[in-house]
Amino acid sequence: MPITNYQDAKRPVPFPLSKYFWVPVSLATALFMASGPRAAQALPPEFSTDLSGLNTEIPEVLTTTRLRQPKTRVPGSTTVIEGDLIRDLGIKNLYEVFRLVPGMVVNFVASHQPVTTYHGTVHYEQRRMQVLVDGRTAHRATLSDMDWETMPVPLELIERIEVARGPNSAAYGINAFLGSINIITRDPSDSSNLETTITSGSRGYLRSFASTGNGSSNYDWRLSFEKRKFDGFDYQVDDGQRFPFRDGHDINSFLYDSRFNFNRQSNLEFRAGVVDGVKYQDRNKTGELNPLEHPDVDVRDFYLQGKLNHSLSEQHFFHVQASVENFDRRIEYPVSFPDSIAQCLSSNTPIFEYTDVGGNPEQLCLNPQGGPDLYADVNANSEDTRLELEFQDTLLVSDNLKFVSGAGFRKDIFRSDTYFNGRGNNYQSRVFGNVEYSPKTWLTLNAGGNWERTSTTDDSYFSPRLATNFILNHNHAIRIVYSQAVRTPDGFEQDPDWGYTLYNVRPELYSNLEGRRITINDVVEEPQRLTLGNHLEEERLTSQEISYFGQFPLEQALLSLEIRVFRDELRDMISGVIQLQEWTIDNNVEADQKGFELEATLDFPGTRLRASYGYMDQDTRYTGGPILNRDGTINENEQRYQTELLERLSVRHSGSLAVIQDLPLGLKWSGAFYWADEFKTHFERFDTRLVKQVVQPRYTAELAFTMQHYLNRDPELSSDNNIKDANQFFVEAGIRF
Amino acid sequence: MYKGFRQHEKRISRSSFLARHGFWLLFLLFTAPLADHSQAAAPPVAYIAGSGNTALDHHVTQLLEQQLGNTATLKPLADNDLASIRKTPVITIGPTAFSRVRQANREIPVLALLVARKFIQSYIERSPGRISAVYYDVPLLRQALTGKAILPQANRVAMLATTESAELYEPLIDQLKGYDLDAKVFIADTEDQLIPTLIRALSYGDFLLAGPDDTIYNPRNIKHILLTAYRRNRILIGPSQAYVKAGALASSYAPFSSMAKEAGGLLLAYLSTGNFPSPVYPDEYRIEVNQQVARSLNIPLPAREWIAQSVQNMINIDDPEAGP
């Protein structure tokens, strides 16, 4: 009689095997295995009867709490994107992966600068998610934003990406405000002999990747190289006319990953990477003081990371991790000013200052007097260094009681004449912990928290999380989660000293301005709105979640379903504009977010279906002090603008649908549809990929063709982000030995 | 409940056992009492050569004795007996015991227990009727279907082998087509090639099937193989119970009691005819699973009994490689 589903299987068997029956057999087996002749050709080799050596090393499926937890026990909804899914769907850039995550959106600001976030909020200076690459904080140290285009993570090396949806400050600290992204790359011991891929496509897309590695009992290593070139958007629009848009990049990454195995209890992971290249920026979109040339960014980053893992026993293990990351960005470009501004700079007169001329206010600095223009060079160079030290201890008292705890210290060093007028430091220290307790098979309780102190606010914060998971039939769980999180302003938000120093001033007439630093106070347009110098407080978030996770084994398929219902209160949110002429950020907005999200996969033999959907309703209110016009009246438009800024990436509906289908003759097809609404217009794109795979005993080769079709031709966020052709094509070839 | 299950188990096993060895049982049933009445002769003797593992040898001997009852007597084999044995059968436990007996005296009729088919096959071909066995390894088809029962959505099976051991999987690849499963063997001849080849195998297969190939699956490699597989959310099925304890997700296995029943039948046949029948697989298989691994990988794991029954239901009865 065919078996139709697992439900029958889960019924108690009429005559359950008594464990006592197996005692003698198990004993005999264990003894047999332990002392059996090693020369035996057919007898099993020696093993102990437990998960010797593996218990501490089975890869952490979910890192939401830093404990290894199955989805039924994890205190919150977590999306896991496997590297194979990314590659099967033909995703071309790391940041595009996040369109697969319910509630996450992806878009671009400035010169094709990708921005992605969970539950939206602002588009510029998005820094409300903690992003980790192999446990290393990935966002920049001082400006705190994510530079996805230069992140040294080749798609081929991604093992999986875990996105903890919802505040995760309880585990990862103050930047894990809306959620956390944990990018886990392939273990160095899992390296191919040689692997290479090259992809070429529309808009100058070129990506080449090569990796080689080897392993032994004591030392595993991998060397990787990736080159990424892309032209970005095709054109920008000004006064109805199209102009070329310089917003591509040409980035090279060299990576070294290794593991030194000292003995069965200890190993050291060591990673190093160098990122070198250019990010092209358009002078009409980027760069202060009206650049004369494109202010391209010369990227010279590196990182070093060491992680010592040690097991005291099968149930007790810890790691110590230290890392150094350096982000060195060189931006140099010429600027020019009319003689009137040069004179104002000489006399320290604010450029936008109004002077009463015959009863009429006039901006005299903006009225050229016929003299020669001033030319000079400026730079926006910055070098950030982050030093991070972390200790984490895991104690598995039993399968029902698990602890993880630890402490961390971080030092951010920033060196920039432009942004900080020199050098400064920020310090963060934290203590964290989580306990998972399962008093019954149907009940798991999680309690965790993170205490942190940061010098940016000279204050300390505690972010707790409490969760109860009701587990039904091993495969289903209902979670009730309460958590709080904070985000503190970064060093630049809190304590900027922003100014551009004029070098190589010409003509000689203006030589007195050589070395003159043009600051916010020189160029601010509306001084009454300036918030520079205001002490910023932390943003706070209180989140409540009820979620369900279930797996339904069907006759020929497996259905996995996760539904999250949430209600978040965001308070003292920092909103406003960060520009040299307009510095208006403050803790002036609050928002309530509520909605639900769904993620489902259905795996049939040879077919995989995946769906994600997020619905979010955001109610945003201005709570700051009154913003005044020059005449002292309240500027309601500006207050509304401040609230709208916090909604730029907050979309009501977003989601994805994907199909991966095995075909005969070694072919595989995939299709994916992504959408998000309530930017300025909808984002809608359909991707399709056909790959021919040749699997031989000694090598695997692939040839793939990908097409992206943009259903909506209108730019979603900025009117300058335009693509000429709705269809984008990519060809990819790869071989792995 | 416990007693009830044992009765149930006995009922099922006995019927199967009767079907396979009924003739010899009946023969002995009728001839043994006659012998008792006529001359009260002692039951025939069979030697047993242990593996050296006292607990295991004792357990297997006990099960065999229960199975044989009064129809035969088991006597431990001493080394100085080896040269003089001519027709008295010897039961060996494990391949080392078999090799020891075989090397000492090639004429001895041997019933080999706890040996893999690959190990014993050539001896049986050389000495048909004088050597038989109850295979210890699980038929690969049964292992593959164990994976299919746990992952019903699976349709590709990957296997790792060396050039020499690849033939182990050859019959299986054709067999699996009948079960809507595609299979490929990936060759790793050196240690350096193991993990790169495994990575490609894991990209291809929905799960990794391990056969009794100790050049690939051995204590030195297994941890690395398992960790690599689990990092890719792929599971390992097989090759034996011991590997499940070490971290493989599941494996079919034959309980010792089932092997003892088959051994009893083969021995009785020899005692009656002077020739061993062909070697057999046990007629009952169970499933060992690793719940911790399943939980860690978010794999919903049915009850072990359900998996075993599901595998049994899937197996094509006419499939010679499937075992009983």
**Contacts of A186 by beta carbon, 8 Å cutoff, 6+ apart:** A83, A157, A158, A159, A222, B231
Residue type, A166: G
Banded pLDDT at A116 (limits 50, 70, 90): very high
Residue B91, classed as helix, strand or coil, is: strand
Which of A184, A217, A245 delimits the end of a domain? A184
Instruction: Considering only residues A576 and A19, tell me which one the structure prediction assigns the higher pLDDT.
Output: A576
**Is residue A71 situated within a structural domain?**
no
On whether both A546 and A614 belong to a single domain, the answer is yes
Residue A475 touches partner B, C-beta closer than 8 Å:
yes
**Residue to test with chain A: of B157, B226, B236, B245, most A Cβ within 10 A:** B245
Confidence of residue B38 (pLDDT cuts 50, 70, 90): very low
The nearest alpha carbon in chain A to B300 belongs to A475
A241 & A119 share domain: no
pLDDT(B35) > 80: no
Cα angle for residues B306, B154, A700 (degrees, 5° grid): 150
B165 part of contact set with chain A, CB < 8 Å: no
Percent share of chain B, pLDDT over 70? 85
Residues B232 and B208: their CA atoms lie apart, in Å, by 11
Q: Is the pLDDT of residue A299 over 70?
A: yes
Chain A residue numbers with beta carbons less than 8 Å from the beta carbon of B98 are none
Q: In this model, does residue A606 exceed pLDDT 60?
A: yes
Please give the average per-residue pLDDT across B258-278, as a whole number: 92
Q: pLDDT value at position B21?
A: 52
Contacts of A268 by beta carbon, 8 Å cutoff, 6+ apart: A259, A260, A262, A306, A307, A308, A309
Mean pLDDT of chain A: 89
What CA–CA distances, in Å, run from B312 to A702, B178, B255, B323? 38, 15, 15, 10
Residue of B59, B184, B298 best to disrupt the A interface, most CBs of A under 10 A: B298
Q: Which of A305-309, A521-525, B296-300, B311-315 has the lowest mean pLDDT?
A: B296-300
Distance CA A684, CA A277 (A): 31
Q: Is A434 helix (H, G, I), strand (E, B) or coil?
A: strand
Q: Is the peptide bond before A507 cis (omega within 30 degrees of 0)?
A: yes
pLDDT at A660 over 80: yes
Query: What are the pLDDT digits (tens) for B302-315?
Result: 999 999 999 999 98
Mean pLDDT of B193-203: 90
> What mean pLDDT do residues A60-74 have?
80
Residue A36 lies in a domain: no
**Domain check: are A601 and A667 in the same one?**
yes
Within this chain, do residues A581 and A524 fall inside the same structural domain, yes or no? yes
Read off the pLDDT band of A681 (50, 70, 90).
Answer: confident
Last residue of a domain, one of A167, A184, A201: A184
Whether pLDDT at B292 is above 90: no
What residues in B contact A27, CB-CB < 8 Å? 55
- Which pLDDT value is given to residue B41? 64
pLDDT 10s digits, A393-436: 999 999 899 999 999 999 999 999 999 999 989 999 999 999 99
Q: Domain B140-253+286-322, CATH 3.40.50.300 — does that match?
A: no
Residues A359-383: pLDDT tens digits?
888 899 999 999 999 999 999 999 9
Check if the beta carbon of residue A424 is closer than 8 Å to that of residue A496. no
End-to-end CA separation in angstroms for chain A: 44
CB spacing of A32 vs B56 below 8 angstroms: yes
Q: How confident is the model at residue B1 (pLDDT cuts 50, 70, 90)?
A: very low
Please name the residues in contact with B234: beta carbons below 8 A apart, sequence gap of 6 or more: B202, B205, B206, B207, B208
Residue A422 belongs to domain spanning: 185-736
Asked if A346 and A454 sit in the same domain, the reply is yes
Structure tokens at A243: 């102009």
Contacts of A18 in chain B (CB under 8 A): 1-2, 5
| Residue of chain A minimizing CA distance to B60 | A28
Which of B 70-129 lie inside 8 A of A, CB atoms? Answer: 94-96, 114-116, 118-120
What pLDDT, on the 0 to 100 scale, is given for residue B324? 46
Peptide bond into A59 cis (omega under 30): no
A216 interaction partners in chain B (CB closer than 8 Å): 191
Q: Is the pLDDT reported for residue A39 higher than 90?
A: no
pLDDT tens per residue across span B178-187:
998 999 999 9
| Contact with chain A for residue B249, Cβ under 8 A | no
Q: Are residues A309 and A178 in the same domain?
A: no
Same domain as A253, residue A118: no
**Which of the four pLDDT bands, split at 50, 70 and 90, describes residue A180?**
very high
Bigger pLDDT: A499 vs A681: A499
How far is the C-alpha of A520 from the C-alpha of A382, rounded, in Å? 18
Quick one: pLDDT at residue A52? 44
Position A69 scores a pLDDT of: 86
- Does the pLDDT at position B8 exceed 80? no
pLDDT beyond 60 at A60: no
On whether any CB of chain B is under 8 Å from the CB of A605, the answer is yes
Domain assignment of residue A37, yes or no: no
pLDDT reading at A154 higher than 70:
yes
- The CATH number of whichever domain residue A488 belongs to comes to 2.40.170.20
> A6 lies in a domain?
no
What are the two backbone dihedrals, phi and then psi, of residue A661, each rounded to the nearest 5 degrees?
Answer: -130, 125
B306 to chain A: which residues are within 8 Å by CB?
Answer: 3, 6, 8-10, 13
Which residue has 């705890």 as its token pair? Answer: A405
Q: Tell me if chain B has a CB within 8 Å of the CB of A665.
A: no
* A304 part of a folded domain: yes
Q: Is the CB of A15 less than 8 angstroms away from the CB of B298? A: no
- Please give the tally of structural domains in chain A: 2
pLDDT tens string B43-58? 888 999 998 888 888 9
As a whole number of angstroms, the distance between CA A395 and CA A315 comes to 6
Are residue A125 and residue A253 in the same domain, yes or no? no
Q: Does B4 touch chain A (CB under 8 A)?
A: yes
CA distance linking residue A585 with residue B315, whole number of Å: 69
pLDDT of B29 > 50? The answer is no
* Cβ–Cβ below 8 Å for A6 and B300: yes
Same domain, residue pair A173 and A191: no
- What would you report as the CA-atom Rg of chain B, rounded to the nearest whole angstrom? 21
Structure-derived torsion over alpha carbons of residues B16, B19, B24, B30, reported in degrees to the nearest 10: 100
Per-residue confidence (pLDDT) for residue A144, from 0 to 100: 67
- pLDDT-based confidence at residue A631 (cuts at 50, 70, 90): confident
The residues near A555 (Cβ < 8 Å, ≥ 6 apart) are A2, A3, A4, A5, B152
Domain boundaries, chain B: 2-136+255-273, 140-253+286-322
Q: Specify the pLDDT at position A30.
A: 38
Average pLDDT over residues A530-547: 95
CB B45 within 8 A of CB B65: no
Q: Which of residues 195-234 of A touch B (CB under 8 A)?
A: 214-217
**pLDDT classification of A49: cutoffs 50, 70, 90:** very low
Categorize the per-residue pLDDT at A96 as very low, low, confident or very high, splitting at 50, 70 and 90. very high
Q: Are A695 and A669 spatial neighbours (Cβ–Cβ below 8 Å)?
A: no
| Cα–chain center distance at A245 | 26
In terms of domains, do A162 and A92 share one? yes
Nearest beta carbon to residue A554 from set B8, B119, B152: B152
Same domain, A111 and A165: yes
Residues A86 and A223 in one domain: no
* Residue where one domain finishes, among candidates A184, A202, A221: A184
Residue B319: its pLDDT value, please? 59
Q: Count how many pairs of residues, chain A against chain B, have C-beta atoms within 8 Å.
A: 233
CATH code at B2-136+255-273: 3.40.50.2300
**Terminal-residue alpha carbon distance, chain B:** 28
Beta strands A443-454 and A422-440 are antiparallel
